[in-house]
Amino acid sequence: MTHPFSTIYLAVTALFFVGSGAYALARPLSFAGALDLSTLRAGGLNEVRAQYGGFFLVLGITCGLAMLGVVDRRFGLGAAAITLGGVAGGRLFGLAIDRGVTGYGLGIRSLVLVDSAGCALAVAALMLDA
């Protein structure tokens, strides 16, 4: 059953990831700066393009295609849940290793919450569409 919440979630997630991915591809140094990645060489810029640009762009397109029914909706919701859950888990692991947020900028601090909430909302959308 298609639930309106999952449609809204897929639309917002698609826009977020397509926008973030396009920004990372087009302006990797600026994108990296927003994440407190202050020193990058050519290899680092390429990695920002690949990890944030390419991966986020494809994830956003996947969510958009799922919203439109081109691919299974649960595939798009699952991809978002797995990605955001993995990123949130990695961020929380980093917080534990670093013993708190000292030295973390506001952007990274915010992303801990955004990623965790995004994962939880994707799981909720999956359950509503079941």
Measured CA to CA, the distance from residue 116 to residue 87 in angstroms comes to 8
Helix, strand, coil percent content, the chain, rounded in steps of 5: 80, 0, 20
Give one DSSP letter per residue of 41-61, joined into a string. -HHHHHHHIIIIIIHHHHHHH
Mean pLDDT of 25-31: 94
Phi, psi of 67 (to 5 degrees): -60, -35
Extended beta strands in the chain, E state: none
More confident residue, 17 or 108: 17
The pLDDT tens digits for 37-48 are: 876 788 888 999
Task: Name the residue ranges covered by the structural domains of the chain.
Answer: 4-128
The pLDDT tens digits for 85-113 are: 999 999 999 999 999 888 888 888 899 99
CA dihedral sign of residues 65, 84, 52, 113: positive
